[in-house]
């Protein structure tokens, strides 16, 4: 899960990520990996929904995302029909 944490941090660093959907069961491991890499509680509160139940943060639970994560990018200027958050 360390590699996944670094990948998610790299995605977020672009400023182009709206959400990352990942099953809650994997968020537990992701959270622990992030802590092992030195992530602060404040940083994790902004990024990972776990341990909370309410949908907050960039990494959120979504049913069916147990074998993969789904990365939703923000709409680009060249995409007039794109709708944020869908």
Number of domains in the chain: 1
Read off the DSSP letter of residue 19.
E
pLDDT digits 0-9 by tens, 11-36: 999 999 999 999 999 999 999 999 99
Flag whether 14 is in a domain. Answer: yes
**86 assigned to some structural domain:** no
Q: Where are the beta strands (DSSP E) in the chain?
A: 17-21, 59-60, 70-73
Please indicate, yes or no, if residue 81 is contained in any of the structural domains. Answer: no
85 lies in some domain: no
Confirm whether 83 is domain-assigned. Answer: no
Rounded Cα distance between 41 and 80, Å, is 37
Range of the domain at 25: 2-73
pTM over cut 0.85:
yes
Does residue 32 form part of some domain?
yes
**80 lies in some domain:** no
Do the domain assignments include residue 17?
Answer: yes
pLDDT at 86: 56
């Amino acid at each position: 899960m360390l590699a996944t944490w670094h990948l998610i941090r790299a995605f977020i660093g672009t400023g182009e990520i709206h959400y990352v959907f990942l099953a809650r069961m994997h968020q537990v491991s992701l959270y622990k990996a992030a802590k092992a890499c030195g992530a602060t509680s404040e940083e994790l509160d902004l990024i990972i929904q776990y341990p909370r139940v309410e949908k907050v943060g960039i990494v959120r639970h979504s049913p069916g995302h147990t074998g993969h994560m789904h990365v939703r990018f923000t709409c680009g200027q060249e995409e007039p029909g794109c709708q944020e958050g869908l």
